[in-house]
Structure 1
Amino acid sequence: MSQGSDLILSRMMALHPKIIDLTLDRVWRLLEALGHPERDLPPVIHIAGTNGKGSTQAMIRAGLEAMGGRVHAYTSPHLARFHERIRLAGELISEDYLTEILAECEAANGGIPITYFEITTCAALLAFARTPADWTLLEVGLGGRLDATNVVDQPRLTIITPVSIDHQQYLGETLPEIAGEKAGIIKRGVPCVVGPQEEAGLEAIEARAARLGAPLLVHGQHWHVWEERGRLIFQDENGLLDLPLPNLPGPHQIDNAGAALAALRHLGADEAACEAAVTKAYWPARMQRLTHGPLVEAAGACELWLDGGHNPAGGQAVAATLARMPARPTHLILGMLNTKDIAGYLRPVAAAARTLTAVSIPGEANTLTAEETQAAAARAGISAGTAEGVLEAVRTIAAADPGARILICGSLYLAGGVLRDNG
C-alpha cells in the first residue's frame, strides 16, 4: 500500500478507542455529511452469517460476471492489503482513488469519534455510488442488525449463510440471539435466501421474516443441494442443475454453492452463469494450496495449505476437507486470537493432525501466545510444540517429515500475514 492511504487508515484507527461498538448512529451521521451515497447504489445483495459469507459472495460475483454484469463487492477483513475489501465494477480499487475517497470521508467526519470499520464502510459506499455498475455485493462485518453495512432500505436480495456461536460478547450468548442479530438485514418485502441452519437459528430468522413479510428461500425447503458421483446437484422450483463440484475445496462449499445458486436463480441466471459461479470463484485463504514463494521453497516436498477459519464451524470445515483429501500425514501450524474458542476449533481437527506447531500472530495485540496455543493443543490430545514464526515451523516440519501435508490455520489475520510475507 502506498503511503497516502496507509497514513489515512492509521489516523482512522485512532478516531474511536473501541475496535467494535455496534450502533448505526455514527454511520448515519457520516453518510448524511457525504450526501447519502447508500441511496444511490446499483441493486444490492446483502450477505450475513457466521461462516461462508465470503465464499458465497465470491460465487455470486463469478455468476453475475459470467452474465456480463459489472459487480461492486465489499468484504472484510482484508488479508494482505486493505484494497481487497473494495472491488469497483470487478476491479480492486486503485491506490489513488482509495486515497482520494478516504480523505474525503476523513474530512466529512471532522475528527468526530467513529470506528475504523464504520468510516471505511462509508468510503466503500461512496466509491460504489460514484462508479457505474450493475450490482453491489455487501458482506456484513459483524452481526447484521447494527452492522455498518445495514444502511440500505431496499436491497434486491438478502442472504443468511449458516449461523453458529461466535462473537458472543457482541451478539448474544445463544444461537437464537445471534441468528436474530444476523436476521437484522432482512427488509420488508425483500426476499431472503437462507443457508443450512440449526432449528433454533432458523426459527429466529423465520420470525423476523414473518414480521416483515419477507419471502424466504430456505435450504431444505425451497432449494436442495448435494454431491452425487463427483458432481454438484442443485434443485429448486425451476428444476435441476447438474454442475461440476465447486473449485473452492471442502465439502462445506457445497452448501455455500447452494446458497449462491439459489440467489442467482432468483435473479434469473442461466445454467452457464450457475456453472461459472461454482467453477470460477476466487476466494483466498480458504483451504488454499500455496504453490510459490519462500514458504513453499522451505516446505520442499511437503504440500503447503492455508486456511483462515477460526471458530468451531471453521474447525469442522477444515476437518471435513482434510478427510476428503488423499491420505498423507498432516501437520498443523496454528495461530489464534484470544477472543476465539480455541478448544472448539481444535476438537474436530485433532484426529486429522499428526502434530501441531503453535505460533503467535505477528502484530496482533489479541493473539494467543504460542505457549497458550500449545497448551490448548495438548489438552485436545495433539502432540504440540512451538516456533518463533511460520517459516521456522515449516522448515522444522519439512525436515522431520518430508512429503507430508502442512496446513497453516486458525486465523484470517495469520493467513493475511502469510500471504503478505510469501509474496
Structure 2
Amino acid sequence: MNDQRSTIVRGFLWTTGIYASSIAVRFLTSVALSHLLAPAILGVIVIAQTVRIGAELLGDLGLEQSVIRSAHGDDPRFLNTAWTVQLLRGGVISLLCFALAPFFASLFGVSLAVMATIAAAPMLNALASTSVFSVARRLDIKGRNLFELIAETFGLLINITLALTMPTVWAPVLGLLLTVAVRSAISYCLPHPRHHLLLDKAFIREILGFGKWIALSSAALYATSYSDRFYLGGLVSLQLLGIYGLARAISDLPVSLSNRLGYLVIFPVVAADRETVGTASRAHLTPVRRQFLSLAAIGIATLMAWSDWVVSLFYDSRYQAAGWMLFLLLSSSWVAVLAAFNEAVILGRSKPQAVSIANLCRILFLILGLPVGFHLYGLPGTIIALTTAEIARYSVLLIIVKGLRLGFIRQDVAITVGLSALLAGWVLLRRFLELGSPLDFLP
C-alpha cells in the first residue's frame, strides 16, 4: 500500500519537475520563433501541424497502451509485433498525407511543397523503438520524462538554428522533421529488445482488439483538440491564425502536463490495481491529485489574470491579441485538466470505449458550437465553444468514473471554486491599481 503511494508521489514529482523544464524549452522555442519569423509563417505551421497530427491520431492503434496493459508487454515477440505494426502504420499514414497534400494545400492556401514535405513526419516517428513504451510500462517515470526532455531540448536547438539561418517557412518545417527524427533515433539509447520485423497473429488480434477503441478515441481527440485550428484555417488570415496558434500552444501546456501525468502515472497504477478493483489506488491518488490540482489552479488563475502582460512581456506588438485569446483558452484548459485525470482512470479500468463516448460527445458540441460561435461572436465565440465542448466531455467522464466508484467530484468542484475566487481577486486587484483587464483588447 505504502509502496503504491510512494510510486504515485514519485511519479507526480518527477513528471511535474521535469515537465517544468520541458515547458521552459517549449516556451523558449515559441518566443524565439515569434521574434525570428513572421506571424503568417507561424500560421502555415499551425495548418501543417494540424494535418500531420490529425493523420497520426486518426491512425492511432493504441500501441503504447497495449504494451502497458498487456500481460505479454515484456515479451520480445509482442514488442516486435508492435514495432512492425508501428512501421506499417507510419508508412501508410505518410503515403496518405503525401497523396492528400494537393487537397490540403488548395483548401488552406498554403504551399504544396510544405504539405508534401510534412508528410514524411509520420514515417520518421514510426521508426522509434518500443523502448519508449516499455519505460512507461515499468513505471520508470524518471526515465520517460528525461527522454522526452532531451528530445525537446534537441528540438529547441534545431529550430532556433534553422530560424536564424533561414528565416522562412522552411525553418520550422525542416525543424519539425529533424526533431521527430532525432527523437526516434535517441529512443534506441533506452533498453529494448533487438528489433526485427515480426507479425504474430495472436498478438496482432490482441493489439487491434484493444486498439480499435483507442483509434476511435484518438480520432475523437483530434476532432476536439484540433478542429478549432482546422476550422479557423479556412476562415481567418494566416497572420491571425499564427497568433491564435501561439496562444493555443501556451494554453495547452497545463493540459499536456495533465495528460502526461494521466498516462504515465495514473493509468499504469490503476491498471496494475486489479485485486482491489481500484479501491487502493483511489485512496492513494486522492491526496496527491488534490495537491497537484491545487497548484495547477493557482497557476492557471494567475496566468489568466495577467495573460495580456505575459504576452506583452515576451512577445512583440504583433502578438498583442494573443493576450485575450490566452485568457479565454485557459478556461477550456482547466476543464481539460480535470477531464484528463478521469480519462486515465477509465483507461486503467480497461474501458477505452467509454472514453470514446465522452470524446464523441465533445465532437457533437463542437460541430454545433464552432460555426454558431464564430457567426455570433467571431474568434471569441469560437473559443467559448471549445470550453462548452470540454464541459460536455468532462460531464460524461464524470458519470462513468462515478459508476466505477473512482470519481473525485467533490474535489474537482472545491478546487474549481478556489480557482474562480483567486481569478476574481487578481482581476479586482488590477482594477484597484488601474492596471486594466486581460480582456481590454477583446474585439
**What is the TM-score when the length of structure 1 is the normalising length?**
0.25
Higher relative contact order (CA 8 A, sep 6+): 2
Give 1 or 2: higher helix fraction.
Answer: 2
Give 1 or 2: higher strand fraction.
Answer: 1
**What is the TM-score when the length of structure 2 is the normalising length?**
0.25
